[in-house]
């Protein structure tokens, strides 16, 4: 699954276009490297997103498309910075 789509379906970012813009601006780091929106997310990847002064770091647990918004939090686990 593409990085921008993963950020949207996991509800880390509300809109895919915004996820695309954030990734292209270099504010998304996957496994220690800056990633583009087209990066293919895999289970086990560590994603760090910078929203202004609030960085968020998560580990990918699943890349399956969720069936509802209640299941979206099961796609990742939040890691300490």
- Token look-up 């686990």 returns 77
76 within 8 A of 10, measured Cβ to Cβ: yes
- Token look-up 């921008």 returns 4
Pairing state between β 46-51 and 33-34: unpaired
Task: Give the pLDDT score at 28.
Answer: 95
* Closest C-alpha to 69, from 16, 12, 10, 19: 10
In DSSP terms, which residues pair with 56 in a beta bridge? 49
pLDDT band per the 50, 70, 90 thresholds, residue 44: very high
Kindly report the pTM of this predicted structure: 0.90
Q: What is the pLDDT of residues 14-36, one digit of tens each?
A: 999 999 999 999 999 999 999 99
């Amino acid at each position: 699954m593409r990085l921008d789509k993963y950020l949207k379906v996991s509800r880390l970012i509300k809109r895919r276009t915004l996820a695309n813009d954030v990734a292209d601006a270099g504010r998304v780091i996957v496994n220690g490297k800056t990633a583009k929106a087209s990066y293919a997310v895999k289970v086990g990847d560590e994603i760090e997103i910078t929203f202004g002064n609030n960085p968020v770091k998560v580990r990918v647990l699943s890349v399956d498309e969720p069936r509802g918004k209640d299941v979206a939090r099961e796609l990742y686990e939040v890691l300490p910075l």
